[in-house]
A and B are shown apart, each in its own frame.
Chain A
Amino acid sequence: MDIFIQQLINGVTLGSVYAVVALGYTMVYGIIQLINFAHGEVVMIGAMVAFSVITALAPGGWPPLMVVAAGTIVAIPVCMAIGYGLERIAYRPLRNAPRLAPLISAIGMSIILQHLALLVWSRNFIAFPQIIKSEPYHIGGAIITNVQIAIIATSVAMMAGLALMVYRTRLGTAMRATAQNPQVAGLMGVDINRIIAVTFLIAAALAAVAGVMVGSYYGIAHYQMGSLLGLKAFSAAVLGGIGNLPGAMLGGVLLGVVEALGAGYIGDFTNNWFGSNYQDVFAFIVLIAVLVFRPTGLLGERVGDRT
């Protein structure tokens, strides 16, 4: 029982990070039907930039929370600049090209970003300075740490903020209108290029914070960390229904839970043939299962209603 609760806690923690990253995939897809395969790399850059800032400030004797906040505050604009640049350089010129073209360009950008990171931060695993002391709290025979609580709370706050923006503001209404029918949105006075750019900026800002969260959670960062994380978040977005915002949130949390429970029990179920190091496989089992049995995802029924 305590394993179950423990894995649930771990799963929700990681899942809420997946959800935040998955939102970036799904928002961009919703508006231009493009899988931004470089999105995982934006998360990685967020982690790396935060790492550099935190490492630089750690010896200064400032309160740890302030140091992490400073790292995040620097990571956000850097990632936003990258997200904006991706759209302008790699996607916008290809907007009317065959669909494969921007996909290839996305993969190219993700390789470029990885190698830029390699040049700046080396090919080694980088240890995040553990400046925030992990404090465990006991609940029901399991443990939740202050870091986990902070990650879940931050993710929920960001998702709530995003939902408010998308469903309650003029800009958000314009974003949804553009996603449904960009040409008619243009006829309403919406500059769709601006809406698309804003979408990339928001996705990148979320990615930056997600990067800081995974970095702090695992205590480690690496220039290739974005690809696996990105693929998992993408799977989460597909699970929820690509293009669907609540779907990305649900898909992220579900994927995190499936992964954690899978890792927790796979040994028992397979007579220890497989260990918890197989946890990464669950995301892809989920992805394949969704694509085979429910390609529209859990909440997605629409793929657009262009008339």
Chain B
Amino acid sequence: MNLLEVEGLEVRYGGIRAVKGIDLRVEQGELVCLIGANGAGKSSTLRAIVGITRAAAGSVRYGGAAIAGRPAFELVREGLVMVPEGRGIFHQLTVAENLAMGAFARDDAPAIRRDRERIFALFPRLAERRGQTGGTLSGGEQQMLAIGRALMSRPKLLLLDEPSMGLAPILVAKIFEIVRDVARQGVTILLVEQNARLALEASSRGYVMESGIITLADDAKKLLADPKVREAYLGEGVE
């Protein structure tokens, strides 16, 4: 079953068409990635799906229902959650408060507490720093907090926008491990990344986006083997 179905999605900024009518789908339980160069329109796509950027055309169906025009804060309650590019940590809120904000849409206090302890078990660094403000965390810790915070909302579909951006290689590996982990726990994930290799290795399927258009859509393994992908995104020359 398709949890997310996007058809003919278009995003415009003034006269510029940043997303030019794309189709994509994510099935229940899948980890799918959307890769592409900087400026390809990946973030615009995610933002349009959750409604913080208005779609100029096209339809977005989540769990079978059309969600175009619905505000992001309502979709959170239905399990559609995005971790924005740049993480969006509340710098003046403590780690614990940031996590509490992740659970804002819920009101089952005991379960929220249990989830928080699970997040702390998953990210011991965050547990150590629970009383510190978000702004004092390192980039990697902030990304863990952003993911942990999103998990606090008990997402069904998690949209991750470049979780590895700006992180040292060792942290990039750690973040991808976490993403796979979350996927294994049954959360459906649409992962936007510039690190094409790691994204494709973690995913079952992938989409390649170029200047607002999806140019390739296939199984991740096939994309990893595709000469065009290898040349353009995996940094390999093709003889």
Contacts and interface: CB of A to CB of B under 8 A. Distances in A.
Contacts of B101: 173-174, 177, 185, 188, 190
A4 B152 CA distance: 55
Contacts of A190: 73, 101, 104
Contacts of B84: 183-184, 187
Contact of B76 (A177, A183, A187, A302): A187
Contacts of B52: 183, 186-187
B220 interface: no
Nearest to A184: B88
B92 interface: yes
Contacts of B71: 186, 191
B50 A187 contact: yes
A133 interface: no
A189 B103 CA distance: 8
Contacts of A174: 101, 104
Interface string A241-262: 0000000000000000000000
B127 interface: no
A189 B104 contact: yes
Interface in A207-260: none
B93 A188 contact: no
B72 A187 contact: yes
Contact of A184 (B90, B100, B105): B90
A170 interface: yes
Interface residues of B, number: 26
Interface string B90-125: 111100010011101100000000000000000000
Interface on chain A toward B: helix, strand, loop, or mixed SS?
helix
A189 B72 CA distance: 7
A192 B72 CA distance: 11
Interface residues of A, number: 20
A302 B88 contact: no
A186 to B, nearest CB: 5
B21 interface: no
Nearest to A192: B73
Contact of A188 (B86, B91, B105): B105
A307 interface: yes
A305 B134 CA distance: 12
Contact of B97 (A173, A187, A192): A173
B93 A173 contact: yes
A187 B82 contact: yes
B84 to A, nearest CB: 6
Interface in A176-198: 176-177, 180-181, 183-192
Interface string B113-143: 0000000000000000000000100000000
Contact of B104 (A183, A188, A307): A188
A305 B104 contact: no
Nearest to A194: B73
Contacts of A184: 84, 88, 90
Contact of A180 (B76, B90, B102): B90
B65 to A, nearest CB: 18
A149 to B, nearest CB: 35
B76 A305 contact: no
Given A170-B104, A173-B101, A189 B73 contact: yes
B45 interface: no
A183 B53 CA distance: 11
Contact of B81 (A176, A183, A187, A305): A187
A189 B76 contact: yes
B42 interface: no
A170 B88 CA distance: 19
Contacts of A191: 71, 73
A174 B103 CA distance: 11
A181 B100 CA distance: 15
B197 interface: no
Contacts of A183: 52, 84, 88
A186 B52 CA distance: 9
A174 B105 CA distance: 11
Kindly name the residue among B84, B91, B104 whose own CB sees the greatest number of chain A CB atoms within 10 A: B104
Given A180-B92, A183-B88, 13 more contacts: A173-B93, A176-B97, A180-B90, A181-B90, A183-B84, A184-B90, A185-B101, A188-B73, A188-B101, A188-B153, A190-B104, A191-B71, A305-B135
15 contacts: A170-B104, A174-B101, A176-B93, A177-B90, A181-B88, A181-B90, A184-B84, A184-B88, A184-B90, A186-B73, A187-B81, A187-B84, A188-B76, A188-B153, A305-B91
Instruction: Pick the 3 closest A-B CB pairs, nearest first.
Output: A189-B105, A189-B76, A184-B88
